[in-house]
Amino acid sequence: MAAGFDRRILGAIRATLLLGLCTGFVSLGISWILSEVTPFLYTWDEALHSYRTGAVMGLVLYPLHQYYLQGPGGAWIRRMGFVQGMLMREAVLIGAIVLLLLANRAITATYITCPSGCTTWEFFGSYLTVELWRDTGFAAAIFVVAVYVMQVRRIVGPGTMTRLLLGRYAKPVREERIYLLVDLKGSTAMAERLGDEAAHAFIARVFFDLDRPVTAHGGRIEGYVGDELIAAWKPEAGLRDSAVLQAYAGILEVLQRNELAYRRSFGEAAGVRASLHIGPVVTGECGDSRLVILSIGDTLNTASRMLDVAREGDAAAVISEPLLRRLTLPPDLTARPLGLRSLRGRAGAVELFALAPAAGRRGMTIAAE
């Protein structure tokens, strides 16, 4: 767990530094081009100012987006509708940009030599009249497009959008995947008791909360089928540090932490059943007016039938032997053999295990059977 966390932190630091370096050079290039086509006096001081503007924006805006807008603090924005969320993201980013522009100009004012002999404060004040609005408008125009893409990316899915743009699955590809299927308990009874609208709000709220434990451990949300969530990992990501088990533990911790909030809003807590399986699937683009990336194969069918075993009450979480033997089971967790099980719609039996907390261990919270 610690090693995986350290890797994510180092990766974020590298990405931030690289983005800051690149945006600095982009800003430098833009200001040089402007100096060639306008009467703008391009000095070394102005070049340094331009580079620092871009670099600081990259160093600040990337973490702001990644760890606030996409993190727990920005959840209130992500719960908004498409247009409202886009406008609020734009407002947050533009506000940060204005502050960065003013701070950077103030720094430049402390050392630059003003050609007309103006004072430091006159140099800074002159920026507030025209140039600040010009730079802010330029940044706003760029971020309208960027924020729109961010919002569309949330609808399509970050992994899906990238794969569609790159044409990764223009033709079907056979690959191995780890699947975690999470079934929400009680939604049908809630719909009967409170109505379909309340049940939908309940499912939407819970699945919103369960997204982060999956993505924080390298998984990707593949889709939702009614009150069931489907998450997937590439084997190298899901097996490393038992990330798929850590994601499941994180899901249960989120449900436990939000129990009172669910009870206040919907009259009951959220409980889940889960199945975990690994195997080959065939993945490719599918559809016309709505293009999606679709995975099919026995692996997904088996994972779905494993949920039936959990529904029968044999376990809160069921894991297959092919996946279990490739994972390092955390000391907080035990796997109780359920034996070979015949699953509906499948010819051969599958060896299954029930996940449960180890006796006397509290490091990982796993739902009791």
Higher local confidence (pLDDT), 344 or 44: 344
Single residue among 156, 182, 197 that ends a domain in this structure: 156
In the predicted model, is pLDDT for residue 38 greater than 90? no
Question: Would 185 be classed as within a structural domain?
Answer: yes
Q: Tell me the pLDDT tens digit for each residue of 147-176.
A: 777 777 777 777 777 777 788 888 999 999
Single residue among 132, 156, 180 that ends a domain in this structure: 156
Letter string b/e over residues 92-128, b meaning 16 or more CB atoms within 10 A of that residue's CB: bbbebbbebbeebbeebbeebeeeeeeeeeebbebbe
Let me know whether 262 and 136 are in one domain: no
Let me know whether 135 and 56 are in one domain: yes
Question: Would 256 be classed as within a structural domain?
Answer: yes
Match 């630059």 to its residue by tokens: 112
- Domain of residue 180: give its range: 159-357
Higher local confidence (pLDDT), 30 or 272: 272
Let me know whether 87 and 168 are in one domain: no
Let me know whether 277 and 265 are in one domain: yes
- Residue 130 tokens read as 């025209």
Let me know whether 195 and 208 are in one domain: yes
Question: Would 339 be classed as within a structural domain?
Answer: yes
Single residue among 156, 184, 209 that ends a domain in this structure: 156
Q: How far apart are CA 177 and CA 237, in angstroms?
A: 10
Question: Would 363 be classed as within a structural domain?
Answer: no
Mean per-residue pLDDT of the chain = 81
Total count of domains within the chain: 2
Q: Tell me the pLDDT tens digit for each residue of 316-367.
A: 899 999 999 999 887 777 889 999 998 887 778 899 999 876 665 444 333 3
Let me know whether 115 and 209 are in one domain: no
pLDDT at 213: 93
Q: How far apart are CA 77 and CA 12, in angstroms?
A: 22
Let me know whether 232 and 348 are in one domain: yes
The CATH number of residue 230's host domain is 3.30.70.1230
Question: Would 78 be classed as within a structural domain?
Answer: yes
Let me know whether 195 and 259 are in one domain: yes
Let me know whether 43 and 178 are in one domain: no
Question: Would 364 be classed as within a structural domain?
Answer: no
Question: Are 304 and 329 a contacting pair, CB within 8 Å?
Answer: no
Complete DSSP assignment for 278-337: EEEEEEEEE-SSS-EEEEESHHHHHHHHHHHHHHTTS-SEEEEHHHHTTS---TTEEEEE
Let me know whether 128 and 231 are in one domain: no
Question: Would 80 be classed as within a structural domain?
Answer: yes
Q: Tell me the pLDDT tens digit for each residue of 89-125.
A: 888 888 888 888 888 778 777 776 665 667 777 777 7
Question: Would 296 be classed as within a structural domain?
Answer: yes
Let me know whether 23 and 95 are in one domain: yes
Let me know whether 226 and 349 are in one domain: yes
Q: How far apart are CA 274 and CA 218, in angstroms?
A: 18
Q: Tell me the pLDDT tens digit for each residue of 137-147.
A: 777 777 777 77
